[in-house]
Each structure stands twice: as C-alpha cells, then as structure tokens.
Structure 1
Amino acid sequence: MGFRYEFGAGDDAFETVNPANPSENVGRYGIMSPDALGRVIEQANAAQAEWAKVPGLERSQRLNAFIDAVEARADELATAGTLEQGKLFRESKGETMKSCAEGRFSVGEAARMGAMAIASGRAGFSNQILRRPRGVIFCISPWNFPISTPMRKICPALAFGNAVIMKPSQFTPAANFLLAQIAEEFFPKNLIQVAMVFGRTASDVVASGDVHGVSFTGSVPTGKLVYAAAAQNLIPVQLELGGKNGAILNDSDDLENAITQIMGAAFMTSGQRCTAISRVIVHKDLAAKAKDIFVAKADAMKLGSGMEESTDIGPLCNLPHWNDVCDVTKKAIAEGAKPLAGGEPLGDPSDGYFYKPTILSDVEHDSIAGQQEIFGPVLSVLEYDTFDQAMEMLNGTEFGLTSSLFSNRNDLIQRFLAESQNGMIHVNHGTVPDNNMPFGGIKNSGVGAYSVGPTAVNFYTSEHSAYISW
C-alpha cells in the first residue's frame, strides 16, 4: 500500500509502518541535514522574538483558537496516531482530547506569567518577581504518545512566549507534522517547526545549538545523555523518564472494581506508558482471589488492530520494541516468574507486533520482573505480609514516577501519602492524572520542573528579581 503521510524531501527518509500490519506503509519523512536544522533554529529565534512581543492576553486567545482547531481535527490526529503507534483508536482520540484539556490550563497561564509582587526590605522600594520567555525550546518526544506529548510541550511553551522545535520519534512523526500544520493559521511563521533528525544531530543541538531549553520525554538512558548534552550548553532541562510503577492492594470493599482500575492502568496502550502500573503488590490474604480475577480479565482481552472497535489491546509499536518485550519477559520467566496468563507473543511479528496480556506470579522484588521497566502488557504480582514490606517493595526501585494504594484504612493512606517515593501519588484509583495537576517524577523518573499545571512556568520562563526605588 502507498504512504498516507509524506513530509519533507531528500533521498534519506524515515518510513513508518502499521504495527498491526507491518506490510502496510504509513508514512515517509525526509531526514533534515545539520545545515537545514541550523536554519530552522535561526528561524525559530526570529519567530520567538516576534511572538514574545505579543501581549499575554492575545497569546492566550490565539492559543485557545489553536486548541479549538486541534479538537476539530481530533479524528484525523487519532487516526494518524493509531496507524503509526498501534494503540486503540478510542485511546488515540482520548489522548487528543485530554491534551487539549491540559492545553486549556496553559491558556490562562499566558495572562499571568507567574509574576508576583513581594514585600520590600527597604523603605521607598517596591519589589517584583518577573518572568520572561526562555526563548527556543527543543522538544524531544517518544513514540508512545505521539499527540499528547508534543501538545504537552507546545501549549505551555507558546503560552509563555517561546518558540518550539519538535523532534519526534522516527516511529510516530505524523501527528507532530499535522499539529505544526494546524498551528500555521494562528501563530507567526516558524514559531512551531518539526525537525526530523537522527539522535546524534539532536544531541549536537542540545549541546551547542542556539536553543534555550530542552524538554525530553523518553527512557532513562537517553535522558541521561540529553542531560549531559544540556550541561555542555548550560541550558535547563525538563526530563520525563521511565517508571516501574506499583499499586499496593491492601484491602478493598470492591475487589473487582479495584482490579479493573489496575488492569486499565496496566494494559492501556499495551502497557507502553511511563505511568503504567507494572507491579501490583498484594496482601497475602487477597493474593489468591486477586490473581484469579487478574487472569480472567487478561485472558478475556481481545488483541487486534487499534482501528477495530472490538479490540481490547493493540500491538506493540515497533519491531525492535517487540523483540525487547519478548526477550525481557522470557528472561523474567526463566528467572522464576510464573506466567498465569500470556507470557509469550501472539503469532509471528510479520503479522503484527502483538504480545499477549501477561500476568506474572511468584515474582521476587529483586528480580527482573520486579525491577526492570518492561514497557509492555506485562503485570507482575508480588505478595507481602506487612505494610512495611509493601512500602519497601514500592519504593525499592530506581524509579519514582507514580504509585497507587487501594485501602480503606486512614492510617495506611496517610502513611502512603507521606512515604511513597513518587512524583504522583494516587489513593483508591488508577494512575490517571488531572488536567491541571503537575505531571512528573523523582529519582530516575524525572529532572526539572514538572509539565502540565502551574509549575510548568518554572521551566518555560526565566526568573528575574526587580527592585524599584521611588
């Protein structure tokens, strides 16, 4: 089949395929040369200087109009996301709408800019804390959320007066280009640009280019490289990295509902989410019943194309990642984890990058299944006797992104809120964040100001102390 999406020119190109049917070509994207990228950066700086002069209220109005246009083309964006990423169309549509709802919060922030008056220490003075746009923000996005991740960077960046250069994953670029097309109607030319470049070129830009901040979402190893490159250029970073997120299941009046929420958090996007629950830490008294429910729900899930309404779980995004999930899960099983459901791929990858929804039992805390981010439809079940043990297991990984506790005991809830070593903490529900709340992690799950919500201003603006003598 022919390509649906073609952007850029040149003999070298990234080409994408449908993960549910790898013989189907979806997109072709010309690779930008370093010289061309240099021109993009120059254009972005010029556009940003123009945009920064636009009053905040007008910026908010134009950003709101852009978000309206994105919502109007939600089906088109969702189709592009599903065809290249593989997730269910309804998930891609939900991703688009949620990204717009998050962006609406930035609309209001454009009028405030985080500025504040503060008491003076001297007579005859008034003091202010001012904020200014950073400049050009280089945004690096992964393949798992091709719509919401760029939107999560675009909206606050533009609200605060910055320009954006987006470097998408080579597996899912279509939505980035469509968003840039939509933006052309509302913003100065070249304020939002897409740069299809190799990772080495992107690293050089972060290390020495005329950019003023880098926002990266992706893996921990790559995040460390981005952090090191940014240090060479002395520019701020916003890193959203991986997770090995745990849900403690201590007690519940409605075990079925609790497990339904955990399953949704574990298997949405085929488990390819930084916020996916990949460990459920179950009290031993609930373990047998809980495992029966987990297995029944996993076995009932239908695998298939994300474009089919009857599908419950789509394919993994790409062949290298499919191989990784197969290899790591196989090692976890060889190490002693017991597959109660799944534990293997569905068919040959030439027919689609499908992996069966997997429930692993007999998982030890220090094992591969207990520590390593598999980033697939694999849920590990760990058991505990005391809540001390549960908290030790919850916090005993390199990650600190999100966590959840299911319990009706106030003493345990308060302890969980005080001791969970995660940037986002949930009680008696899955790990879905609100549209106005900060999103990010601690430990190896993140560095810098969180995205979304009121604290995003700390990354997208610079801070200035102003003293006025009168």
Structure 2
Amino acid sequence: MSGLGLIINGKRVATAESFDVINPATEQSVAQCPQASQAHVDQAVAAARAAFTDWSQVDDQERKAAVHKIADLLEEHAVELTRLITQEQGKPLQGFAGLGSEFELAGAVAWCRTTAELDLPVKVLQDDETQRVELHRKPLGVVGSITPWNWPLLIAIWHVIPAIRSGNTVVLKPSPFTPLATLRFVELANQVLPAGVLNSVTGGGDIGSYMSAHEGINKMVFTGSTATGKKIMQGAASNLKRLTLELGGNDAGIVLPDVDVDAVAMGIFATAFINAGQTCAALKRLYVHEDVYEPLCAALKAIADSTTLGNGLDTGVDFGPVQNPAQLKIVESLARDAEQQGGRFLSGGHAPQGPGFFFPITLVADVTDGCRLVDEEPFGPILPIIKYSDIDDAIRRANNNACGLGGSIWSSDIKLAAQLANRLECGTVWINNHAAVQPNVPFGGVKQSGFGVEFGSEGLEEYTSIQSVFIPK
C-alpha cells in the first residue's frame, strides 16, 4: 500500500526520506512510511499551538460531537484499519478468544464514545454571604503523544481522544514498527477536527526525544518500556512538562487451592496470551498452589496444544508472530535461560523454521523467582508457572518486583480473594480475570510501572490544570 503521509495543520506533508514498515508474519515490506525530521516536529508543534487558542474555547458540546464523529469514521473504515493493524502488528483479524485486530478496532470506538460523554464540571468549593469559590478544569495546551507497537490504534485513541475532548491539541508519534493504522486514523480525524488540532509525525527514538524536550509541548503521554519512560521524564524536565507514563508490567496472578481448575483455565490462558503476550497488563507470572499445580498445568497445556500459529490475515489463526526481531530475541533468550534453570516446557519453547518472527505459545513449569523468565517482563508468548504452598509467601513474591501495573487472584471464594487483592502492590487487581480494562475505570501503575492514570473522569483530568476562581459577593 502507499499514500499515507504526515498530517500537519490539516494538510498532508511530504518528507524527503521514508522507511519500510515490515509485516512480522512475512518479513516483507507492507508500505513505505514517511520519515519526519525535527523541522516537521517544529511545524507540528507550531500548528498545534496556533490551533489551541480556538479549540480550547470551543463549546464543550461541540468537542463531544467531534469525538463521536471520529468514532463514526473508525466504524466506517473498520475493514481497512483492521487489515492495516494485522499487516503491521501481526495480530490476527479475529484471533484467540476474539482478541485480534477487530477487537482492537471495536475498543477504539468504545473508548471514543465513552470519553466523549465524560464531563469536567465546575466545582463549587464555597458559596456563602462573603464569596463564591469555583474550581475550574482548564486544558494544558499542546500534548505530545508517543505510542507503542503492541496496540497501535487503540493506544493512540487512549492518548488522543481525552486530550482533544478536554480542549488540548496534539502532536502524535506512533511507533516506527506500526505507524500505518495510526497515520490513517489521523487523516480520518482531520476530516472532523479543525486544522492543527491533531498532527502526526513519524520516526524513531530521536524524534521522540526531541518531542520530550520541546519547549512548545506542555504534556507528554507515553506508553512503553520503563527505560524509555525514564528518558522521556528527563527530557520533560526542560520545561516542567506534565507527564502520564504507562510503563512496563510483570503482572502476577495467584491461584488459590480452592479454585475450580476447569472453570479458570481458559481465562488464565486468554489473559496471559492476549496479543501473544504482547500486552502491558497481561498475566506474566502465574503462582499456583501446590494442591492444584499439576491439574492446572495439564489444563493450560491442553489449550496451548489446540491453538494455531500463523499469518493473521489467514482464517482460523489464533496467534500471530512476535512483532519485531528484537523482541523475539528477548523471548528466545528468556526461554533458553529457563531451560538452563531446569524449567519444564509443557508446550513450545523454540521458534519454528521459515519466514516471520514466530514463537509458539510456551508454558514453562517448575521455575521460580530468580529465574529471568519470572523476574523480567517477557512481553511475548511465554508464561512461567510457579508452585507455592503458603499464600503469604506467594503475595510477598508477587510484590517483590520493580513493576506494579496489574495483578489477579483466582479463587472460588470471592470474599477471600477480595481481601487478598488489597495486599497486592499494583494499580489494578482483578478477581478471576486479568488484563480487562474499561474506558470508564481509571488505569495506571505504581512503582516503576509509571504514574498518572488513563480512562474515566480521573484520566480526563490528567489533561487539565486547575484554576480556583474567587468571586466576592
């Protein structure tokens, strides 16, 4: 395919250079992506700053209507967008449990519509015979967004829609691995939005670093690795930018001895391997009580053995490839280390021959803390299964990690599970589920999984500053 370009100030902008976008299932080029320069970033920021003057003053109902129109356009172009996602990211169109590109597109629409209906009303803090004091929420200005390669369209929506809904303007940089669906989204949104409200630039880490330190950007929103988040934070110090950082996660799930193995096995499997494990909030460390350890291992193996791996454009494919060769190398390295540590491979373990960055669904039993596969975030289709005997010890081990994005408790005793959930050091805890985020529920991490929240009214507030207004009587 061809024809996508940067959008700056409402117009398509050509670039002198471009780069290949590779289909991870075939290792063939899908398209040429324009390569932005620092000058393009400057132009995009200037356009966004100019547009902010009017957009920040637009009637709230008008901004709400614009977001709904963007959702309409996403639905109208669903087939085009989902194919782009599959070609550049690798996830199947439908996939295991229906969690593929079509699911991503549906999520993007849902987040648009829910965010459109959020409000930030004026709060009255005091109203007596002497004065009235009001608390107003005001947009920050220009928001810089850097999105990752695992859920390219959905996370772009997570960044962009609350920003424009609250009256900000945006400069958006997608991952160079997966820019295509995002660039198309920006084109579509510019059919609705005034020129300069939403602008796109492309490129690698050098463009992201330039954005992070740019004096004309008031806030950075980033989803990705903790290491990159720290660099963005350093750059943002130049003008004290606001930050929302959703960083790495190494989520632990704890299975209690009272669990019904047959009832939970599919849920555990689906939430561990959503997007082939390439999801920040996927279940990545599974602690299982010794009483149900072998039965659950057997149940998970049976599911893994029934799945198919392949090109996401083909019918009947459950899982696609790892998105890029660097990530595949990490997954393979962790598998080999687990093998040396005595891990028992229930399924998978080795990349198949042939084109594509494929790695099979891999379950590794009989590993424990101290093994790299347990301690490090794999971000791929491999899950360590760790045996425990004491629940207090399991919670201690689950918490003994630098990350704190999500966690889960799996049990037939919901009351007990809820009590234990409160002891987990993470931003979100699920009971008998994992990785299930909603547009009306705040989401964010603790420790080195970042700070700030997304979604819901709390997420919308992240794109605003407060202004207290004292009105004498």
Report the equivalent of 1:19.
Answer: 24
Report the equivalent of 1:97.
Answer: 106
Amino acid at match of 2:236: A
Amino acid at match of 1:44: A
Tell me the TM-score normalized by structure 1.
Answer: 0.95
Report the equivalent of 2:302.
Answer: 296
Residue aligned with 2:182, SS = helix
Residue aligned with 1:260, SS = helix
Correspondent of 1:227 among 233, 258, 268:
233
Report the equivalent of 1:62.
Answer: 66
Specify whether residues 146 and 125 from structure 1 end up closer, same or farther in structure 2 by C-alpha distance, changes over 3 A only.
same
Kept in 2, the 8 Å contact 1:206–1:233? The answer is no
Aligned-pair distance for 1:410? 4.6
Aligned-pair distance for 1:338? 2.4
Aligned-pair distance for 1:113? 2.2
Amino acid at match of 1:277: L
2:460 corresponds to 1:457: yes
Q: Specify every segment of 5 or more residues in structure 1 that has no aligned partner in the other structure, as ranges.
A: none
Kept in 2, the 8 Å contact 1:329–1:374? The answer is no
Residue aligned with 1:383, SS = strand
Report the equivalent of 1:468.
Answer: 471
Distance 1:62 1:53 in 2: 14
Specify whether residues 329 and 356 from structure 1 end up closer, same or farther in structure 2 by C-alpha distance, changes over 3 A only.
same
Amino acid at match of 2:138: R
2:425 corresponds to 1:404: no
Distance 1:263 1:384 in 2: 19
Correspondent of 2:38 among 34, 50, 59:
34
Bigger Cα displacement from structure 2, 38-47 vs 403-412: 403-412
Kept in 1, the 8 Å contact 2:91–2:321? The answer is yes
Report the equivalent of 1:169.
Answer: 175
Correspondent of 2:317 among 281, 291, 311:
311
Amino acid at match of 2:122: A
Amino acid at match of 2:405: L
Residue aligned with 2:326, SS = helix
Structural mapping, 1:77-116, within 5 Å: 77-90=81-94, 91-109=100-118, 112-116=119-123
Amino acid at match of 1:107: A
CA deviations over 1:313-355 (Å, ceiling 9, x no partner): 111111222122112221232233222211111224xx11100
Amino acid at match of 2:82: A
Kept in 1, the 8 Å contact 2:271–2:433? The answer is no
Kept in 2, the 8 Å contact 1:252–1:258? The answer is no
Distance 2:464 2:121 in 1: 9
Amino acid at match of 1:419: R
Amino acid at match of 1:103: C
Aligned-pair distance for 1:6? 4.1
Aligned-pair distance for 1:226? 0.7
Q: Specify every segment of 5 or more residues in structure 2 that has no aligned partner in the other structure, as ranges.
A: 7-13, 95-99
Structural mapping, 1:142-153, within 5 Å: 142-153=148-159
Specify whether residues 230 and 114 from structure 1 end up closer, same or farther in structure 2 by C-alpha distance, changes over 3 A only.
farther
CA RMSD between the two structures? 1.6
Amino acid at match of 1:418: N
Distance 1:126 1:392 in 2: 50
Distance 1:4 1:297 in 2: 39
Correspondent of 2:284 among 272, 275, 278:
278
Kept in 2, the 8 Å contact 1:437–1:453? The answer is yes
Amino acid at match of 2:116: V
Amino acid at match of 2:107: K
Correspondent of 1:7 among 5, 8, 17:
5
Correspondent of 2:345 among 336, 339, 343:
339
2:266 corresponds to 1:245: no
2:258 corresponds to 1:260: no
Distance 1:367 1:328 in 2: 9
Report the equivalent of 1:417.
Answer: 421
CA deviations over 1:391-442 (Å, ceiling 9, x no partner): 1122111111111111123553232232111111101223212221112111
Aligned-pair distance for 1:4? 4.5
Specify whether residues 107 and 19 from structure 1 end up closer, same or farther in structure 2 by C-alpha distance, changes over 3 A only.
same
Aligned-pair distance for 1:100? 1.5
Residue aligned with 1:13, SS = strand
Kept in 1, the 8 Å contact 2:341–2:367? The answer is no
Report the equivalent of 1:327.
Answer: 333
Distance 2:76 2:207 in 1: 34
Distance 2:158 2:229 in 1: 18
CA deviations over 1:218-241 (Å, ceiling 9, x no partner): 001001111111122201100001
Percent of aligned positions that are identical: 29
Distance 2:399 2:160 in 1: 33
Correspondent of 1:372 among 362, 369, 376:
376
Distance 1:10 1:36 in 2: 9
Kept in 1, the 8 Å contact 2:212–2:232? The answer is yes
Amino acid at match of 2:44: V
CA deviations over 1:18-65 (Å, ceiling 9, x no partner): 11111x311211211212221111011111212112100111011111
Aligned-pair distance for 1:68? 1.2
Report the equivalent of 2:389.
Answer: 385
Correspondent of 1:357 among 352, 358, 361:
361
CA deviations over 1:251-300 (Å, ceiling 9, x no partner): 45531231101110111211110011111110000001111111121122
Distance 2:3 2:272 in 1: 31
Correspondent of 1:118 among 117, 125, 133:
125
Structure richer in helix, relative to its length: 1
